[in-house]
Structure 1
Amino acid sequence: MTWAVWAPLLLPWITAPAARRLATLLPPRPAALLLALCAAIAGVLAGAATALLATGALLHLPLVAASGHLSPALLPDGPVAVGLGAAAVPGCVLIASAAVVTLRRHRLRHLHDELRGAASSRAGDVLVLADDGADAYALPGRPGRAGIVVVTSGMLRRLDDEERAVLLAHERAHLACHHHLLALVADLAACLHPALRGIREPLAFQAERWADEAAAAAVGDRRLVARAVGRAALAASAAPAARRPGAVFAATAGPVPRRMASLLAPPAAVRPLAGRVGAGLLLLLLVSATATVEATGDLHENIETAQGAAR
């Protein structure tokens, strides 16, 4: 197999920092979408490269070679390449296991069932839990059903009417914009390549900022949103709720002082440097994609050659 198979495995160490840098130069909505898209593309390419390496190594096994009707002796890979490919086999198993764990963690159906039996009251898309602790989060719905906003009675008592409206608008924005799917994409990409783990935190921050801006547009007062975010975070810190699922977006999540500072400043705009950083990021992704296609074609050609000699 050619050198090309290594590009998708090495370039994410550059792609992830470049994506994080570009996200800081964009408004929250395009920043979050960019991070999720880059994580998805880089993750899929890295996963494909790992699978190609593992496949190239497995083809040297007599049993696999016999089932594929090919001659392993005619496969051009040397012992170093075969050894590295063999190391990719358990890597594929670890990737699959991590992906299954991630999917189960994001599957929140059990929480819907638990909340239905908890001491609570519901009005529309808002479920109020009888909990003295302060918390609020967006709980995505099951397939075909809308999500709900979960808020504790303790949180509602600590906010005034305007701040409650901000809190609900923020959580509804998470549901309407499907931020849980962006988080799932980032978490799955992190399973495919360790460098992409660095995208999860900035993506979560940009999703919170996106929801903050949506709430500001809904209530028409950025300073009010900043105040509500700060008071909700203080309330949650002083009286944490008994339980919160880990795979949901909460209004008190992320670096709250940075979020408040952004709300007290004018709305973010695209910065001049974004074009250059974006061009560099696009080039990195194109090189990875081209290398993956080349490595795939190279492996296919090697298999055909070995199969032709075995006939």
Structure 2
Amino acid sequence: MIFAVWIPLLVPFLAVPAARRLAEALPPRPAAWLLAVASTGLALCSAAALGLLALAGALRLPFVAALGHLVTPLDEVPGAIALPAACAATALLALCGLALIRTARRQLGEVRAARRSLAPATGELAVVRDPSPYAYALPGRPDRIVVTTGMLRALEPAEREALFAHERAHLRGRHHLFLAAAELAAHLHPSLRSLRAPLAYALERCADEAAARAVGDRRLAARAIGRAALAGRAGAPAVPRAALAVAAGPVPRRVAALLDRRPAGAPLRSRGARLVAAALLACLCASAVSAVEAAADLHGGIETAQGED
């Protein structure tokens, strides 16, 4: 366990650059899934490693050992590092847990406050009388597309349809859950914070492509996104972090991607891309296998300390 337990804590520093590089070579939807799964998987493995370190150290305390019916000392982790590592792991887990709870409560509170500010649901579209031009997809029951009168005035009728299709794609794809997973994973390992921005971009690109398909005109979708972003610079109120706004992310890059007639993303045909994919898969497997191996070693050490054969 002493070696395996550290691998899930170190692997994310290697896996994150590979995930970002690979996401750039994929179409938007697979890229979003890749980044969400990678961040969630790496976060869970690192949290499991911290939990194992905390448990291994705690079992060296007499009252905890008595609760576990240990008749001999647990020797899975050397005594010189067992308690310091357990204290550090426990502190980190506590801080991560508090941050997770605080973030979840804040985001839920923002969504509830935004929903309370809207008129009772009479349909998917919620028009807010506000000269500030902004629009976003608000998840909930039911899902709502929030748009202000200022944004409606800033766009032509055809562009409004592209805007609604964009926000509708966010709601149907449950993109807020992807963002929530990345947000929570970022609290469990510092290196995973750098996956939030590329994930948000991939989700916006997914909605951009859906809008282009819905209106049947990529140039119209690009123009709608560009004009909505320019109008939104006039100043918009704080949008809930769980909501997705049409003007989010690097808009010029998104517009350029829509105007590019080539398919979104590129298949993994290059040798470099395949090597990056293999490296990322190896990192994910190494993290998961090491966490399982460390857990198995600790379980075996506990049985030995309990005097079981």
TM-score normalised by the chain length of structure 2: 0.93
Shift of 1:82: 3.0
> Equivalents in 2 of 1:140, 1:19: separation in Å?
27
Segment of structure 1 superposing worse, 124-133 or 80-89: 80-89
Structure 2 residues without counterparts, runs of 5 or longer:
none
Give the match for residue 87 of structure 2.
86
Partner of 1:202: 198
Structure-1 residue corresponding to 2:52 = 52
For residue 5 of structure 1, what is the aligned residue in structure 2? 5
Mapped partners of 1:123, 1:223: distance in 2: 32
Deviations 1:218-276 (A, max 9, x none): 001111111111110110002x2234222210000000010011011022232423333
Per-residue deviation, 1:288: 0.9
Match runs of 1:145-160 below 5 Å: 145-160=141-156
Does 2:273 align with 1:272? no
Q: Is the 8 A contact 2:133 2:151 kept in 1?
A: yes
Partners of 1:45 and 1:112 in 2: CA distance: 35
* Separation (CA, whole Å) in 2 of partners of 1:168 and 1:56: 53
CA distance in 1, matches of 2:222, 2:303: 63
2: CA distance between counterparts of 1:271 and 1:297?
A: 36
CA distance in 2, matches of 1:242, 1:89: 39
1:74 is displaced (CA, Å) by: 4.2
Is the Cα–Cα contact under 8 Å of residues 105 and 247 in structure 1 kept in the other structure? no
Moved more, 100-109 or 201-210: 100-109
Match of residue 170, structure 2, among 171, 174, 181: 174
**Alignment RMSD (CA, Å):** 1.7
Do the aligned residues in 1 keep the contact of 2:107 with 2:240 (CA within 8 Å)? no
Residue 73 (structure 1) shift: 3.0
* 2:245 counterpart residue number: 250
Q: After TM superposition, which residue ranges in structure 1, 4 or more long, deviate above 4 angstroms?
A: none
Partner of 1:289: 288
**SS of residue paired to 2:296:** helix
Query: Which range is displaced more, 151-160 or 79-88?
Result: 79-88
Output the amino acid matched with 2:143: G
Unaligned runs of 5+ in 1: none
Alignment partner of 2:60: what SS?
A: coil
One-letter code of the match for 2:96? I
- Of the three residues 254, 258, 261, the one matched with 1:263 is 258
Q: Would you say the 8 A contact 2:5–2:291 is kept in 1?
A: yes
| Cα contact 2:119–2:126 (8 A) shared by 1 | no
Percent identity between the two aligned chains: 52
| 2: CA distance, partners of 1:100 / 1:123 | 33
Contact 1:74 1:306 in 2 (8 A): yes
Q: Secondary structure at the match of 1:162?
A: helix
1:158-192 Cα deviation digits (max 9, x unpaired): 11101111110000000000000001111111111
1:231 aligns with 2:227: yes
AA aligned opposite 1:279: A
Aligned-partner Cα distance in 1 for 2:257–2:68: 59
Q: Secondary structure at the match of 1:69?
A: coil
Per-residue deviation, 1:123:
5.8
Contact 1:43 1:193 (8 Å CA) reproduced: yes
Structure 1 residues 134 and 307, CA, compared in 2 at 3 Å: closer, same or farther? Answer: same
* Counterparts of residues 12-91 of structure 1 (less than 5 Å): 12-71=12-71, 73-78=73-78, 79-91=80-92
The TM-score normalised by the length of structure 1 is: 0.93
How has the CA–CA distance of structure 1 residues 72 and 139 changed in structure 2, closer, same or farther, with 3 Å as cutoff?
farther
Deviations 1:1-58 (A, max 9, x none): 3200011000000111111110000010110011001111111111101100111111
Residues 49 and 292 of structure 1 are in contact (CA less than 8 Å); yes or no, is this contact kept in structure 2? yes
Instruction: Judge conservation of contact 2:29–2:202 (CA < 8 Å) in 1.
Output: yes
SS at structure 2 position matched to 1:146: coil
The answer to whether the 8 A contact 1:16-1:199 is kept is yes
Q: Does 1:106 align with 2:107?
A: yes
Report the alpha carbon displacement of residue 124 of structure 1 after superposing the two structures with TM. 2.4
* Contact 2:138–2:243 (Cα < 8 Å) also in 1: yes
Residues 219 and 123 of structure 1: CA distance in aligned 2, closer, same or farther (over 3 Å):
farther
Q: Is the partner of 2:233 in helix, strand or coil?
A: helix
Q: Is the 8 A contact 2:72 2:307 kept in 1?
A: no
Structure 2 residue identity aligned to 1:255? P
State the Cα distance separating 1:85 from its structure 2 match.
2.3
1:132–1:241 CA contact under 8 A, matched in 2: no
